[in-house]
């Protein structure tokens, strides 16, 4: 028998209390009375943004061990510096400061400052991330087009009014 079968975590207690089922941002969320799904889709905020230069901080110092290949640092752990933004205004400010929405972008920024032999592999972005970015770009371009068309229509209307006065 492996491990202790009676060990329970805080998450087991939360599951038993139904906390996960009552949160509308969890996929399996249901209304306790009607038993209907109440899932509201993924929430955009709060959101994590990653350091502009991809900096990390060490959470666990590595242990130096002698190996047949020489001394090796093992067991060290690092975490990328990040912060949480709570709304669109904070996100815009963070992006203006250079913070990244995806860790892969922060890693690329860090790799750009490192020698070739010290660079780490950049994790791939999911197609959902790329699609979201393209959709946002599309909506921004459509808004710019609408403003430009409105300005052109206003200019033409003024031009037609000017011609009528002459």
Q: Are residues 58 and 89 in the same domain?
A: yes
Asked if residue 16 and residue 6 are part of one domain, the reply reads yes
Q: Is 119 found in the same domain as 48?
A: yes
User: pLDDT for 123-140, tens place per residue?
Assistant: 988 888 788 889 989 999
Q: Do 84 and 118 lie in a common domain? A: yes
Structural domain ending residue among the three candidates 104, 123, 142:
123
Max alpha carbon distance in the chain (Å)? 97
- 1 has a pLDDT exceeding 50: no
Same structural domain, 130 and 89 = no
Q: Domain containing 156: what range?
A: 126-166
75/96 same-domain check: yes
Tell me the per-residue pLDDT of 136-163, one tens digit each, with 9 for 90 and over.
899 999 999 999 999 999 999 888 655 5
**Do 37 and 50 lie in a common domain?**
no
Tens-place pLDDT, residues 25-69:
888 888 888 888 888 878 889 999 999 999 999 999 999 999 999
Residues 6+ away with beta carbon under 8 Å from 108:
54, 122
What local confidence, expressed as pLDDT, does residue 2 receive? 60
CA quadruple 104, 105, 108, 110: dihedral sign? negative
Number of domains in the chain: 3
Residues 48 and 93 in one domain: yes
Looking at the structure, tell me whether residues 53 and 107 fall in a common domain: yes
- Based on the fold, state whether residues 101 and 63 are members of the same structural domain: yes
Check whether residue 18 and residue 56 sit in a common domain. Answer: no
Considering the domain architecture, whether residues 55 and 116 belong to the same structural domain is answered as: yes
pTM comes to 0.63
């Amino acid at each position: 028998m492996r491990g202790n079968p009676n060990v329970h975590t805080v998450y087991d207690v939360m599951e038993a209390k139904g906390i996960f089922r009552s949160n509308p941002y969890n996929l399996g969320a249901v209304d306790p009375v009607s038993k209907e799904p109440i899932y509201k889709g993924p929430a955009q905020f709060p959101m994590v943004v990653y350091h502009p230069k991809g900096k990390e901080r060490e959470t666990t110092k590595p242990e130096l061990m002698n190996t047949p290949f020489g001394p090796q640092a093992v067991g060290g752990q690092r975490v990328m510096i990040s912060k949480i933004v709570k709304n669109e205004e904070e996100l815009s400010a963070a992006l203006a400061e250079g913070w990244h929405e995806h860790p892969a972008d922060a890693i690329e920024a860090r790799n750009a400052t490192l020698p070739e032999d010290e660079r780490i592999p950049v994790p791939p972005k999911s197609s959902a991330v790329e699609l979201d970015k393209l959709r946002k770009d599309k909506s921004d371009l459509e808004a710019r087009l609408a403003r430009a068309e409105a300005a052109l229509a206003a200019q033409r209307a003024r031009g037609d009014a000017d011609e009528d006065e002459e």
